[in-house]
Amino acid sequence: MVAHDKGQKGPDESEEPVIRDKRKIDPKTGEARQGADATEGLIQAEGPDVELSDEDSALLAEAERDLVAEYRDRAARAEAELKNFRTRVERDRSANREAVIAEVIRTLLPAIDDLDRAEAHGDLTEGSPLAIVAQKIRSGFDRYGLRHVGQVGEYFDPQLHEAIVQLPTAGITVNTIAEVFEPGYALGERLIRAAKVAVSVPE
């Protein structure tokens, strides 16, 4: 038999971690423990420290860099998506606002037509109550960007004008508005009502 020193372990003996019970409450008695061990908290296992090789350290550093890059990419994508979402919300909000204004103006167009006819017949004398009301209504619509569509002499545009009558005319080469029966209106790029016109066409 071969004797071993007390401080050395034989080849059949394995190094096992030392378990220290550092719970604050004794599991058998249920009472709080006293002393330094009671302040440590949980069961800890102590074993030999693990040292990483240079290759393992390099791999770990590379993995950390890849992880940081991935999270930065995710953050950038999330920020871009949030920016696009805000842009869509603002665009939809602006479009809804224009749609509501256009619908309100569309319901008031018959009254505006009556004011235009009264002015054409000389009923809106300067300083009269009706003339003052007409001026206020028109200035209010102008503030929202309402504009007339269809003037005599303009080229006919089927997207803006509705041809009621076609008049073959000598000396012209393109379709031209000869008379406006009912003016059209547009709010920005939105057409509210097409102008009803007579069109001079080449013979």
Domain ranges of the chain: 145-203
Match 């960007």 to its residue by tokens. 145
Contact at 8 Å (CB) between 152 and 159?
A: no
Of residues 192, 197, 194, 195, the one with CA closest to residue 175: 197
Q: How confident is the model at residue 19 (pLDDT cuts 50, 70, 90)?
A: low
The answer to whether 169 and 178 have CB atoms below 8 angstroms apart is: yes
- Write down the mean pLDDT value for the chain: 80
Tell which residue, 42, 44, 45, has the closest CA to residue 27: 42
Q: What is the pLDDT of residue 42?
A: 42
Of residues 46 and 115, the one with the higher pLDDT is 115
Residue 1: is its pLDDT beyond 70?
A: no
Given pLDDT bands bounded at 50, 70 and 90, which one contains residue 3?
Answer: very low
Q: What is the pLDDT of residue 46?
A: 47
What's the confidence (pLDDT) of residue 118?
Answer: 86
pLDDT in tens, 91-129: 898 888 888 888 988 998 888 888 888 888 887 777 788
Tell me the pLDDT tens digit for each residue of 124-176: 777 788 888 888 888 888 888 888 898 998 999 999 999 999 999 888 889 99
- Contact between 175 and 199 (Cβ < 8 Å): yes
Least Cα distance to 98 among 86, 108, 90, 110 occurs for 90
CA torsion sign for 108, 112, 118, 122 is positive
Instruction: Name the CATH code of domain 145-203 (choices 1.20.1250.20, 1.10.150.530, 2.60.40.420, 2.30.22.10).
Output: 2.30.22.10
Token readout for 34 is: 């006293």
Global pTM?
0.54
Q: Collect all residues with Cβ–Cβ distance below 8 Å to 136 and sequence separation of at least 6.
A: none
pLDDT confidence of residue 83: 92
45 vs 21, residue with greater confidence:
21
Which tokens sit at 89?
Answer: 């919300």
pLDDT at residue 47 is higher than 80: no
